[in-house]
A and B are shown apart, each in its own frame.
Chain A
Amino acid sequence: MLILTRKLGESIHIGDQIEVRIVAIDGDQIKLGINAPREIDVHRSEIYESIQKANNQAASEKLPENILRAIKAMKKGRQDE
């Protein structure tokens, strides 16, 4: 991993379109300002990782036949009855 030292107000460029600036420092919290094109998604790592994990769990199960049959038999609007 590349490690750079920056001061408050300084920034780095990633490629020619992404800029990350140190906006504020308060104890162990650092506020980052990010300038990036629309097609680049920026997320807190733990949020992205939690969704990766949820997707992995949802796809991993080899579901038993009785559950699959029950799901298939479920009708729309059942919850409103």
Chain B
Amino acid sequence: MKIQTKYYGEQEINESEIFSFPAGLPGFEENKRFILQPFGEAFSVLQSIDEMNAAFIVTSPFFFFSQYSVDLADTFVSQLSIESEKDVSVWVIVNVQNPFTKSTANLKAPVIINISKKLGKQYIQDHSSYSLTEPLVQREKMKRE
């Protein structure tokens, strides 16, 4: 099928690439189907099939925050039909800023995808010490560069 994408224009995609997000994403509740498009090596785009502008730059939190961890509640695990840790892929949405060094990642609400079931959902934790706007480039690392 052909879809319109925010960063790559019109794209031909396979049904098999589509992840189902039954609840959409907060703020984008109507968007229930997404694909992941590689965007260079360290980032990807989580692109809605149905709305071109519902596209998010995402990354693996573990690239940038090696200590990052997320503990999925049992209810969430069953909602996503997760049977094994191997099913789970964790992404965080990046709010890209100009200049890039001001960009932040939403570590508080990661996007969790069950790769084997092609099911995804943003994980909202009422109690989390992580920030919605964690600087992607850490201060001390900026100094070293």
Q: Which residues of A contact B55 (CB under 8 A)?
A: 59
Q: Which residues of B contact A61 (CB under 8 A)?
A: 95-97
Binding site for A on B (CB under 8 A): 7, 23, 25-28, 39-43, 53-57, 63-64, 66, 75, 78-79, 93-100, 106, 108-109, 122, 124, 126, 132-133, 138, 141
Q: How large is the interface on A (under 10, 10 to 19, 20 to 34, 35 or more residues)?
A: 20 to 34
Please state if B93 and A71 are interface contacts (CB–CB under 8 Å): no
A67 to B27, CA, bound (A): 25
A63 to B55, CA, bound (A): 12
A43 to B125, CA, bound (A): 8
Known A-B contacts A58-B106, A63-B96; the reply to A72 vs B141 at CB < 8 A is no
Please state if B126 and A52 are interface contacts (CB–CB under 8 Å): no
